[in-house]
Structure 1
Amino acid sequence: MIVVIDYDAGNTANVLRALKKLGVQALLSADPDHIFSAKGLILPGVGAFPAAMAELERRGLVEVIKQAVAEGTPLLGICLGMQLLTETGLEHQETQGFGFIPGVCRQIPHQVGYPVPHMGWNALEVEQETALTPGLEDQSVYFVHSYYTDVPKAYIDVTAQYSLTVPAMIHKDHVYGAQFHPEKSGDVGLGILSKFVALCQ
């Protein structure tokens, strides 16, 4: 069972629809029992870093997720969910993230010709191979974000070019992040979700 973390994150329906298309048994839940028994966890997210962390705290999910990851459960953060994996977010105010991956979530700098938020399809460049990266070189995926994860190179698996080099996928140990929306990225995105599910087995 894959558990999609329920904290009113916004894009859960599309994530669940994508998993169903893959024939994956998935559950939207904030129940600690479901989270601790899951084979893998997906942390989706659309919105602001501080509000997301506040809602996760309000539901008692921050420590639950940390404990599940400490016990070895794979975790995939999507879009804002990936940003929350870092140590600190600078959106609106400085906010502590999960700290699974060293780094800071910063606003994409404004530059002529590169509107913020960054929205649209961008080609991927694989920087280092992981269980999720096979076949991704030069494939295009769908981004919608105003912030990016400023993390050390050692944790950057895939990048995309915008007004800066955007970390598109990051990971440390069994915690993975995708800045783009796999659930909105056609067969390429479904392939990434499928690889994550296989990793969880």
Structure 2
Amino acid sequence: MANTHVAVIDYGMGNLHSVAKALEHVGARHVELTSDPQIILAADRVVLPGVGAIRDCVSELRQLGLDEVVRQVATQKPLLGVCVGMQMLLEHSEENGGVDGLGLFPGKVKFFGNELQEEDGTRLKVPHMGWNQVKQTLDHPLWHRIEQDARFYFVHSYYGVPTRQTQLAGRCHYGVDIAAALAQDNVFATQFHPEKSHTNGLQLLQNFLAWDGRW
């Protein structure tokens, strides 16, 4: 794990440095922020971060030709998507009037709405910002040593709805049920920010460094 080469995809959007520092904190010795397809494809593991508007994220990714690189990585080695990085892996988002994603996971990204509330009528703020418990729905290596219903940090106004429940690795509730994590083959993606989630998030990143893509 100590010598693993992690490429954090730099497409001009995303919380790159905080992700990189968190990976280094849990033991990664070679973390590279890069938009070079050759470096990304040569890495042992790849992280796709993302913050902000999905339209801008997808546009920049495609302009650099990195959408196809992500698809290729998804067939070859461990890939971790984070926040908008997870949303981009779905087929379509309602954000910005409708944006097509990369389609690695069948499903869509929906807006919480301006009148979000719990069943008892409690009004909820949008964006969903803060700590929330995550129910693990798959027995996955990235949950190793993380307790059921552990708390992670979220910041988002849109949430993923996967078509296949077999790809739902974790969920939480904020007015509606949210896909907190998705998994398929060697791809794992989180709506929450592991790099901002203290002990539980750092454990997940450490698990990612040790993961060979099989489970």
The TM tier, using the shorter chain, reads over 0.9
Q: Which has the higher mean CA deviation after the structures are superposed, 128-137 or 72-81?
A: 128-137
What percent of counterpart residues are identical? 38
Corresponding residue for 1:153? 165
Corresponding residue for 1:90? 94
CA contact (8 A) 2:182 2:189 kept: yes
After the TM superposition, list the runs of 4 or more consecutive aligned residues in structure 1 that deviate by more than 6 angstroms.
Answer: none
Corresponding residue for 2:125? 115
- In the TM superposition, residue 144 of structure 1 has moved relative to its aligned partner by 0.1
CA contact (8 A) 2:92 2:101 kept: yes
Taking the aligned partners of 1:144 and 1:8, their CA distance within structure 2 comes to: 19
| 2:211 paired with 1:199 | yes
Taking the aligned partners of 1:43 and 1:120, their CA distance within structure 2 comes to: 22
The TM-score, its normalising length taken from structure 2, stands at: 0.89
Taking the aligned partners of 2:27 and 2:80, their CA distance within structure 1 comes to: 18
CA contact (8 A) 1:124 1:136 kept: no
- In the TM superposition, residue 108 of structure 1 has moved relative to its aligned partner by 1.4
CA contact (8 A) 2:27 2:206 kept: no
Q: How many residues get paired?
A: 200
The TM-score, its normalising length taken from structure 1, stands at: 0.95
Residue 39 of structure 1, aligned match among 36, 44, 52 = 44
CA contact (8 A) 2:116 2:125 kept: yes
Structure 2 residue runs of 5 or longer lacking an equivalent are: 118-122
- In the TM superposition, residue 69 of structure 1 has moved relative to its aligned partner by 2.0
Corresponding residue for 1:136? 147
CA contact (8 A) 1:77 1:176 kept: yes
CA contact (8 A) 1:39 1:200 kept: no
Report which of the two structures shows the higher radius of gyration computed on alpha carbons: 2
- In the TM superposition, residue 10 of structure 1 has moved relative to its aligned partner by 2.8
Once the two structures are superposed, residues 148-168 of structure 1 have per-residue CA deviations (whole angstroms, 9 ceiling, x without a partner) of: 111031111111111111111
Corresponding residue for 2:83? 79
Corresponding residue for 2:181? 169
- Show the 5 A alignment for 1:61-72: 61-70=66-75, 72=76
Corresponding residue for 2:108? 104
CA contact (8 A) 1:53 1:84 kept: yes
CA contact (8 A) 2:61 2:67 kept: yes
SS in 2 for 1:17: helix
Amino acid at match of 2:128: H
- In the TM superposition, residue 68 of structure 1 has moved relative to its aligned partner by 2.4
Taking the aligned partners of 2:14 and 2:102, their CA distance within structure 1 comes to: 19
Corresponding residue for 1:9? 13
